[in-house]
Amino acid sequence: MAERPDPIPPREVQERMRTGCLVVIAACLLGIVLALLAERAWGAEPLIVAVDGDTIHVDDERIRIVGLDAPETYQARCDSERQRGHRATAHLRRLLTGGTVTIRRQGRDRYRRTLARVYIDGRDVAAIMIRAGHAVPYDCPRGRCPRRIDWCSATT
């Protein structure tokens, strides 16, 4: 009867396996880093997400769209405002996927959001949202903002 081979590989084989695994892991990590660097260097499109009807995120930057006020979704004062807010957000999301987005930054607000005019294929997003009935005009000349609309009692 033949003897069974030792189930534990010799020390030399274990070291080679460990070294091989480390080389594979290092190569994978290097590939990921190079892919990320190449993406940034070649000007990959930024990720643009509609947070609500008048705020977007561009990568890590929060941008308040200038020129409109849309109903709230997360801090709505009533169910009607929340529903309108969700419709406004959905409309803005559709707009953002429908063309080339241009952002013209104008400073920051008191919440440290970037204030900006946003355009889709050269068309002002604020004007589009207002015409569609998902927002109302809202401008703050020299930082003086008018009282916001009460979406809970609005009939628009």
Tell me the pLDDT tens digit for each residue of 100-133: 999 999 989 888 999 999 999 999 999 999 999 9
The verdict on 54 and 128 lying in the same domain is: yes
Is 15 part of any domain? Answer: yes
DSSP 47-82: PEEEEETTEEEETTEEEEETEEE---SSS-SSHHHH
Terminal Cα distance for the chain, rounded: 92
The pLDDT of 22-35, averaged and rounded, is: 78
Q: Work out the pLDDT band at 74, boundaries 50, 70, 90.
A: confident
The whole-angstrom separation of Cα 6 and Cα 3 is 9
Q: What does pTM read for this prediction? A: 0.68
User: For position 88, which CATH number holds?
Assistant: 2.40.50.90
Same domain, 36 and 62: no
Give the whole-angstrom CA distance, residue 136 versus residue 83: 16
Tell me if 119 is assigned to some domain.
Answer: yes
Predicted confidence band of residue 47 (pLDDT cuts 50, 70, 90): confident
Give yes or no: residues 109 and 64 share one domain.
yes
> How high does pLDDT run on average in the chain?
84
